[in-house]
Amino acid sequence: MFTGIITEVGSIIGDGQRNDVRRIAIACKMKPEDLVIGGSIACNGICLTVVSRDGAEGGETVFEVDAAPETLDVTTASEWDVGRRLNLERPLKVGDELSGHLVTGHVDAVVKVAEREDLGETTRFWFEMPGNVSRFVASKGSVTLDGTSLTVNSVDGNRFDCLLIPHTLQVTNWNERKKGDGVNLEVDLIARYLARLTETASNTANAA
């Protein structure tokens, strides 16, 4: 479980194919002991498993994760190449402050950046989303985009917008996003279950 509060931005320094699994090497400033082999880490909002880690020159730590076929099919991981910078977040610990919202690291869809407006110190992004997830996105509700907990400003059909403050732009990779880019979307956990409960109640009523 995560919170959508990015703790660091890492860089992809290598990747390779092992049958149908892609192994990705990422360099970051985290301490090696903070990256538990077999433990989870969110990379651009995708919950992945640390399969190896080691120290590197310059004080950086290099760790590897595996992206399975399902992950490559439904997220932006298939588009990542060497040099790509990724938003990183370690798992939430019991007792940690929940500054964002509850995030699972399970991506629901890839949305496209439809428009970027640089408004001085802040930046507004408009996103186009598939119809099957639009019912989960509500004005003033929470979404996770590339691992970042953000508030939805408004919704217009299959489009919604978020306003990013200077701090978010400085400590994440969002300043690198542009029109046409794909972004990993995870809808709010509460919204997901509320929709499911509503569907179940409706189906039960219709069957009665």
pLDDT at position 206, please? Answer: 62
Name the token pair of 7. Answer: 């703790």
Name residue 47's beta-bridge partners: 42
Determine the distance from the C-alpha atom of residue 177 to the mean position of all C-alpha atoms in its chain, rounded to a whole number.
Answer: 13
Class of domain 109-196: mainly beta
200 is catalytic: no
**What CATH topology corresponds to 8-89?**
Elongation Factor Tu (Ef-tu); domain 3 (2.40.30)
151 is catalytic: yes
Give the pLDDT means over successive 10-residue stretches in the chain (208 positions): 93 93 96 93 98 81 96 96 97 76 93 97 97 91 97 96 97 97 92 65 57
Q: Name every residue whose Cβ is closer than 8 Å to that of residue 99 and which is 6 or more positions away in sequence.
A: 3, 5, 149
Q: Which amino acid is at 19?
A: N
68 is catalytic: yes
2 is catalytic: yes
Q: Name every residue whose Cβ is closer than 8 Å to that of residue 176 and which is 6 or more positions away in sequence.
A: 85
101 is catalytic: no
Say what the pTM is: 0.90
Q: Which amino acid is at 136?
A: F
Compute and round to an integer the Cα radius of gyration of the chain.
18
**Separation CA 123–CA 150 (nearest Å):** 13
The single residue of 52, 68, 200, 201 carrying the catalytic annotation is 68
The single residue of 11, 27, 56, 106 carrying the catalytic annotation is 106
**Separation CA 83–CA 141 (nearest Å):** 33
Burial class (CB in 10 A: 0-12, 13-18, 19+), 24: buried
pLDDT at position 57, please? Answer: 60
The single residue of 42, 43, 47, 162 carrying the catalytic annotation is 47
40 is catalytic: yes
pLDDT at position 199, please? Answer: 62
106 is catalytic: yes
Length of the chain measured in residues: 208
Burial class (CB in 10 A: 0-12, 13-18, 19+), 16: exposed
Q: Which amino acid is at 46?
A: I
40 within 8 A of 142, measured Cβ to Cβ: no
pLDDT at position 178, please? Answer: 97
Q: CATH 2.40.30.20 occupies which residues in the chain?
A: 8-89, 109-196
